[in-house]
Amino acid sequence: MGQVGLILSLVLAILLAVFAIQNAGPVALRFGIWSVETSLVVVILVAVAAGAAVASLLGLPGWIRDRSRLRHLARELNGLRATQSSRFPTPPEAPPPPSA
């Protein structure tokens, strides 16, 4: 995530905070027989946090796959470098020129 992504994330977080604060009225949440009354700010922030957590979890397999592939390619590159250095040894250094 570059600087632009970080700035956009901060702007989005500020807009979310302003929206949540402006909608601070009480709200009743009902799910089946369960019921609770809380502030809408809490509902908004919990929903955003849950969405961020789900998005992170959905992106985790791809991140793990990319890291594994990167390690595999690094090992392959190191193997190729070792093979190349054994096939083409570096020439010995020339002696320094005589001093006058």
Give the SS3 label for residue 94: coil
Q: Where are the domains of the chain?
A: 19-86
Q: How confident is the model at residue 25, as a pLDDT?
A: 87
29 residue type, one letter? L
Does 100 or 4 have the greater pLDDT score?
4
List pLDDT tens digits, range 25-81. Answer: 889 989 888 999 998 888 888 898 999 899 999 999 999 999 999 999 999 999 888
Torsion from C-alpha of 50, 53, 59, 64, nearest 10 degrees: -160
pTM of the model: 0.61
pLDDT of 99 strictly over 80:
no
Tokens 């089946």 identify what position?
A: 32
